[in-house]
A and B are shown apart, each in its own frame.
Chain A
């Protein structure tokens, strides 16, 4: 497993593989593998989704991805 950090200017829910899990700006654990990340059905952000590959990233150096308000 590895840690994922999803950056966004405000705190909001993070969806991984279409399931809500975790919040923005706080590292959380996800299984190793390829995942599709988005910020939920209220699509006022860009891009629509991100693809990430997680492979054992530690808390101190999480896999980081980001979204911007639209």
Chain B
């Protein structure tokens, strides 16, 4: 029996309609406030004031690495443990999670960070069933068996656009960054991707969107998470339209100053040049974003920028210069594994796909390690500067008795807590965790083990326990011993 004649027509119609699919357009802003006074309503750190149980004096930054569901579960376990960890200073009792000010996320970690920032601690337990124990990969593949498949025929609609829709339906329910601003409570979430044209980190903040005249408040959180987790080769980039030139944008002074001389500050120079590249909508009308891993798989880069810049929206250097901070604690939740070493167990050289995967994945770890090392160096430098300043002030007091020396309270300590599977003591368990693949579908038992080990590692972490001791009982420091005293 021949099929009815309307069947091919119906398929052709579905194909043609699907081929017209387009990713969501972004709306240009009417005006942009880049003066550093931080207009209300935009997604800027300045619009997330410390309040309630969160104080500025202890500034806690969490970073969640990439690594699929493994990373999401590791970050989730860390949040649960921080919620259980209390700080009792005598006057106040609160959890360490209450004190978290900023969460910077990459890829798999972005799912956990975004879910927590959007729904808060009360709804966090639902994340386990909504995402961690859900076969997200299967859900994506299922979409390919529906008429949605035809939308992929459109050059303006890709697998990551499809993924963003799936994440939105399951987790974020149409939420945009405006919903985060409306919460007006910390943590301030920084979801990170990579701008593939310039290879630089791209943070979903209004400051990043300013030169493009784009309003981040209208941008769906699901699309930011999809961009952050668009692993090169497996998923396609997420595209953002650049509307530069369509608003009253004026470049901030920091960008003009920093773009002047590469020799004074190469990092700031590069950041300023990247920033100005977004003002060139003629040259860069579309910004293509993929997984944050290639530019920073730990989410540490925004923290480094905050510690070394003064006029950017999120600047820890400014907060400490204004005397608002007493201690900075960075807790890096790093779900890295050693699964890439599987290449070495095969006598045959890897094929094209294997090489592409290695080329995309191996630099993740190298770059992440460099970011972590720079953070550690900043911490050590700060300690040395503070000790030196203490000794210098003592000398001043001897030479000029009665003249109060300069206040060094602004030289706040930077503490780093780095949690990885490599710290798992039991060799068999360690091998298990280090062998978990990067995937968006893990067995529930594996998810539970990853969740629980995050708590164990935080409880066993010496640096964290020392920080808690200092926060709870006030530090009893040994007096600084200076030369020739």
Residues of A within 8 A of B (CB): 1, 16-23, 25-36, 53, 55, 58-60
B36 touching A32, Cβ below 8 Å: no
Q: How far is the CB of A67 from chain B (nearest CB, A)?
A: 17
A31 touching B309, Cβ below 8 Å: yes
Residue from B264, B309, B388, B389 within 8 A of A55 (CB atoms) = B264
Of residues A26, A27, A33, which shows the largest number of chain B Cβ atoms within 10 Å of its Cβ?
A33
A53 touching B311, Cβ below 8 Å: no
Residue from B265, B408, B411 within 8 A of A32 (CB atoms) = B265
Interface of B is mostly: loop
B406 touching A32, Cβ below 8 Å: no
CA distance A20 to B38 in the complex (A): 12
B311 touching A18, Cβ below 8 Å: yes
A31 touching B265, Cβ below 8 Å: yes
Residue from B260, B311, B385, B407 within 8 A of A17 (CB atoms) = B311
Q: Which residues of B contact A18 (CB under 8 A)?
A: 35-36, 252-253, 311
Top-6 shortest CB links A-B: A22-B321, A17-B253, A32-B265, A17-B311, A21-B321, A19-B36
Residue from B253, B257, B318 within 8 A of A21 (CB atoms) = B318
Check A1/B268 contact, CB under 8 A, given A18-B35, A21-B321, A28-B321: no
Residue of B nearest to A60 (CB): B392
B35 touching A21, Cβ below 8 Å: no
Check A31/B261 contact, CB under 8 A, given A18-B253, A60-B388: no
Check A58/B322 contact, CB under 8 A, given A17-B310, A32-B265: no
Contact with A along B29-67 (1 / 0, CB 8 A): 000000110000000000000000000000000000000
A-B contact pairs, 10 of them (CB 8 A): A1-B317, A18-B36, A20-B322, A21-B315, A28-B321, A30-B317, A33-B257, A33-B264, A34-B257, A35-B310
Residues of B within 8 A of A (CB): 35-36, 252-254, 257-258, 260-261, 264-265, 268, 308-311, 315, 317-318, 320-323, 385, 388-389, 392, 406-408, 410-411
Check A21/B264 contact, CB under 8 A, given A16-B310, A26-B407, A31-B310: no
CA distance A55 to B264 in the complex (A): 7
Residue from B257, B388, B392 within 8 A of A35 (CB atoms) = B257
Q: Which residues of B contact A25 (CB under 8 A)?
A: 406
Residue from B35, B258, B321, B388 within 8 A of A29 (CB atoms) = B321
Check A31/B268 contact, CB under 8 A, given A19-B318, A26-B407: yes
A31 touching B252, Cβ below 8 Å: no
A30 touching B392, Cβ below 8 Å: no
Residue from A26, A30, A59 within 8 A of B310 (CB atoms) = A30
Residue of A nearest to B388 (CB): A59
A21 touching B261, Cβ below 8 Å: no
Q: Which residues of B contact A22 (CB under 8 A)?
A: 321-322, 410
B258 touching A33, Cβ below 8 Å: yes
CA distance A67 to B385 in the complex (A): 27
Q: Which residues of A contact B265 (CB under 8 A)?
A: 31-33
CA distance A58 to B317 in the complex (A): 16
Q: Which residues of A contact B252 (CB under 8 A)?
A: 17-18
Q: How far is the CB of B156 from chain A (nearest CB, A)?
A: 39
Q: Which residues of A contact B261 (CB under 8 A)?
A: 33-34
Q: Which residues of B contact A53 (CB under 8 A)?
A: 264
Residue of B nearest to A14 (CB): B321
Q: How far is the CB of A46 from chain B (nearest CB, A)?
A: 20
Q: Which residues of B contact A28 (CB under 8 A)?
A: 320-321, 410
